[in-house]
Amino acid sequence: MSRELNGILKALEATLRKSIGQKKKRASSLFTPMSVAHVDDDEEPEPGQLHHLDKILPNGDLYNGQWCDNYPQGNGKYLWADGCMYVGEWRKGRKVGKGKFSWPNGATYEGEFKNEFMEGKGTYSGFSGDTYKGSWVMNLKHGQGIEKYSSGDCYEGEWLKGLQDGQGKYQWVNGDHYVGQWKNGMFNGNGTMVWSTGNRFDGCWEDGLPKGNGTFRWENGDVYIGVWSNDPSEQNGTYYPAGSCGGTLEWDPQEVYSMDLKGCKISPCEKILIYPSQKVIYKPGLEGEVLKHMDDVDRKSREGYEGMGSPQLEGSIPRARKPPPLRVKPAKKQGVTISKGHKNYELMLNLQLGIRHSVGRPAPSASLDLKPSAFDPKEKVWTKFPPEGSKHTPPHPSCEFRWKDYCPVVFRALRKLFKVDPADYMISICGNDALRELSSPGKSGSFFYLTNDDRYMIKTMKKAEVKVFLRMLPAYYKHVRTFENTLVTRFYGLHCVRLTGAAQKKVRFVIMWNLFCSGHPIHRRFDLKGSTFGRTTDKPESEIDATTTLKDLDLNYIFRLQKAWYQEFCRQVDRDCDFLEHERIMDYSMLVGLHFREISGSDSFSSNRTSGARSSPGSGSFDNGVGPRLSTGSIDQLLVDPNRYPSTSLGINMPARAELTVRRSDGDTPQLVGEPTGEFYEIIIYFGIIDILQDYDISKKLEHAYKSMHYDPTTISAVDPRQYSKRFRDFIFKVFVEDT
């Protein structure tokens, strides 16, 4: 033991002896004053009595604070003989609540404790100069947090089990920075590296290095687009000098690996040699029981995360009956890859060539203030693509075709407004990966295609839909520019491919954002309109999987949003419906995707349920009704606060709760929204308004007249836009409610 520590112990011992000799009642000045009994050598406290204790324990530990029934209880300071110290709240001998733990080397943790663990919000200041401020789970950084390294670097973002994992930003002291996805403490997924020189790389990463599609930009405007790999034989791409339409390979991209990335090393996090949960209290004559008690704490804490654990703990939340786990049939990646030999293979090649030409064509910087002439339906550009190539088009293996861009200036401005990077847009649609065709066309007869990275969806359109879209395009542009959180579909381009030959076939299509492109798998998806006629899925339960789109009468949840999100949701739904009603649009729907946070297996998930009371973030699924239990690796699904998702916005990555409902079967008209049961799933929810290009034309009026003669007019989809808007809002505001 060091001289300094010996000196501290002797001074404390002298103070304690003096205090005991005077036999005065007092409370420690370190804590909030309260009435407690002071115990001296002649008095024994009654069982359950809270009293103040100043004691040097036989093993050299010291305790000063409140005590009850052989345990620290309330506020107290415990100094271990090795120099570790905890000052804060106790409950039955456990570190629970707010406190500060310090190590002999000078490191400190100040924040929340739960069942002996650093858990909740807290700040760790290391002996080497590192500082972490953020969320903790079981002594590990887990959730949202900021790490400032002794080197001067800084990381801000998501953590998982002590490592950077998820979305985050790393800033080097020299000004370089990386923003994007992480996995196991390394760059992994989509991300952007920006050097202090002004150069940047946007694209895919794997194990800390560029891997896959990516774009390198120089400060002077030069661009290299291609497929990246640390293995030169796997890399290919094209170099585009600034202001040039043509491309050449005049630069070795391996320079990025050998030079640019050489200094971009991630600083290691400081190791914690001993955790607060490993420091046990000493009880004379009961050492074995103390160790057993601490083992139980460790076991129960790991099994029953968030302190809701065993039924014996005070403050545990009453639990509802455990229902059968909801089964999620595993689903393969949506769609069929359009490879050579597919009937639409040439159409895909034409589409990719056309997009590359449209987006890559030199044009002045798109201004968001557009002239009325930009919206003229006659504002379109035709380009001929012969197989042998031309002055403005490359040679290609497909047949000759003509390509049309509708209102190109408007859609270039929309992509800029929606923050779509042109190079990323081209790589997603026109890269080396083929598109995927969804297995069956929609009800309208349109076909859907997905890009390989799931970012964009391409939908074929009828001529009537194109006319509606061009008619409403000025109002649509004004609406999405005015309301950043609009829920209506984001459109990025409107095009036409005209094949040569006798058929002169024309294929019109629109490019849209895919709402369900996210880091979370979508387990359930719903298409909701507020009508009941034909609004159920014609599939047996055994065939429903995560890609099945369920409808209104299949819905068995209401979605509870946090107050601020709910208020913004109501305002935006009203704005969007007013816009669609004014444009005489109907038959739109709310597309909803659910990611259930408590996955218990590969094909099922069990509910994290409470009976009326809100379940606390981080609680696990229940095992046989005894208590929450974390299976191997399930810390990955631990819940954290909404700040965990930096990209969260209205309808995207939103934390919420899905309350199970049950429909009444009485009456001829089915109940549209079931009765709430008080049982909840913790979810991440995605939603948006889709199919906004159907106006109330003569065909819809005839459909309304015909169906009204056979069915209740209030239950059918084809109704006047004003009536449709009111019914849609009434329904949606019953399905989405405020979480109280």
Picking from 135, 134, 177, the residue whose alpha carbon sits closest to that of residue 153 is 177
71 falls within a domain: yes
Strand partners, 113: 97, 118
- pLDDT for position 326: 61
What single letter denotes the amino acid at residue 106?
G
- pLDDT for position 710: 54
- pLDDT tens readout for residues 214-240: 888 888 888 888 888 888 877 777 787
- pLDDT tens readout for residues 387-437: 888 877 888 888 888 888 999 899 999 999 998 888 888 888 887 778 888
542 and 503 in a common domain? no
Kindly state the DSSP code that residue 599 receives in the 8-state scheme. Answer: B
What single letter denotes the amino acid at residue 353?
L
Residue 267 has pLDDT above 60, yes or no: yes
Residues 55, 78: Cα–Cα separation, whole Å = 10
37 falls within a domain: no
User: pLDDT-based confidence at 649, cuts 50/70/90?
Assistant: confident
Helix (H) or strand (E) holding 224: strand 223-228
Residue 293 has pLDDT above 50, yes or no: no
Angle subtended by helix axes 463-482 and 408-417, to nearest 10: 40
194 and 90 in a common domain? no
Site of tokens 């809701």: 308
351 and 467 in a common domain? yes
User: What percent of the chain lies above the pLDDT cut of 70?
Assistant: 73
- pLDDT for position 328: 66
User: pLDDT-based confidence at 737, cuts 50/70/90?
Assistant: very high
Contact yes or no for 682/657 (Cβ under 8 A): yes
557 and 424 in a common domain? no
Examine the fold and report which residue of 453, 487, 514 is the final residue of a domain before the chain moves on. Answer: 514
478 and 403 in a common domain? yes
Q: Look up the domain containing 443 and give its range.
A: 336-361+374-514
Kindly state the DSSP code that residue 246 receives in the 8-state scheme. Answer: S
639 falls within a domain: no
161 and 100 in a common domain? no
- pLDDT for position 718: 63
Residues 467, 407: Cα–Cα separation, whole Å = 12
Residues 420, 480: Cα–Cα separation, whole Å = 14
604 falls within a domain: no
- The gap between the terminal CA atoms of the chain, to the nearest Å, is 55
Residues 427, 412: Cα–Cα separation, whole Å = 16
Residues 177, 190: Cα–Cα separation, whole Å = 14
175 falls within a domain: yes
- pLDDT for position 681: 86
Question: Which residue pairs from 431-435 have beta carbons closer than 8 angstroms and sit at least 24 positions apart in sequence?
Answer: 431/213, 431/227, 432/213, 432/227, 433/213, 434/337, 434/338, 434/339, 434/348, 435/337, 435/338, 435/348, 435/351, 435/352
- pLDDT tens readout for residues 447-459: 888 988 889 999 9
720 falls within a domain: yes
280 falls within a domain: no
Contact yes or no for 610/333 (Cβ under 8 A): no
509 and 477 in a common domain? yes
How many domains is the chain partitioned into structurally? 4
Whichever domain contains 95, its CATH number is: 2.20.110.10
Residue 309 has pLDDT above 50, yes or no: no
- pLDDT for position 633: 34
User: What percent of the chain lies above the pLDDT cut of 90?
Assistant: 20
Whichever domain contains 491, its CATH number is: 3.30.800.10
What single letter denotes the amino acid at residue 302?
R
Mean pLDDT of 456-467: 90
655 and 728 in a common domain? yes
662 and 570 in a common domain? yes
- pLDDT for position 380: 79
3 state DSSP class of 192: strand
Kindly state the DSSP code that residue 490 receives in the 8-state scheme. Answer: P
Whichever domain contains 678, its CATH number is: 3.30.810.10
Print burial letters for 13-46: b (CB count within 10 Å at least 16), e (below 16): eeeeeebeeeeeeebbeebeeeebebbeeeeebe
671 and 566 in a common domain? yes
Helix (H) or strand (E) holding 17: helix 3-22
Picking from 577, 590, 549, 331, the residue whose alpha carbon sits closest to that of residue 442 is 549
- pLDDT tens readout for residues 563-596: 889 999 999 999 999 999 999 988 899 999 998 8
Strand partners, 236: 227
666 and 571 in a common domain? yes
- pLDDT tens readout for residues 5-41: 455 555 555 554 554 444 333 333 333 333 344 444 4
Mean pLDDT of the chain: 76
3 state DSSP class of 725: helix
487 and 545 in a common domain? no
Examine the fold and report which residue of 489, 514, 539 is the final residue of a domain before the chain moves on. Answer: 514
Rg (CA), the chain: 32
- pLDDT tens readout for residues 529-543: 887 777 778 777 777
Whichever domain contains 231, its CATH number is: 2.20.110
